[in-house]
Amino acid sequence: MIKELDLVVLKHDIEDHSLKSGDVGTVVHCYEDDEGIEVEFVTAEGKTVGVLTLTTADVRPFENTEILHVRNVPH
C-alpha cells in the first residue's frame, strides 16, 4: 500500500507537466478511497515541477534496489 511520503515512480508520460515515465515523485497526500494520491515532482534543486492528483494505477512504489537517472526538464 502506498502511503504519504513514499517515493513512487510514474508509469507513463504526462506531457502537460514535462514528466516522463520513470520520473520519481513523493506522495504528499493520500485520499480516503485508497486510489487517489497527490504526488509532488521536484528538480534536484527542490523546484516543484508539479503536484498532481494521480491514481495508484499511474505510479508504482520505488524499489530500494533501483538507481536514479538524471534528465533536464524544460523551463
pLDDT at 75 over 90: no
**Predicted TM-score (pTM) above 0.85:** yes
Alpha carbons 53 and 50: distance in angstroms, whole number: 10
Question: Quick one: pLDDT at residue 42?
Answer: 96
Q: What is the pLDDT of residues 3-40, one digit of tens each?
A: 999 999 999 999 999 999 999 999 999 999 878 999 99
Which residue is listed with cell 526538464? 73
Q: Which three cell numbers stand for residue 54?
A: 494521480
Q: What single-letter amino acid sits at 20?
A: K
pLDDT of res. 24: 97
Strand partners, 23: none
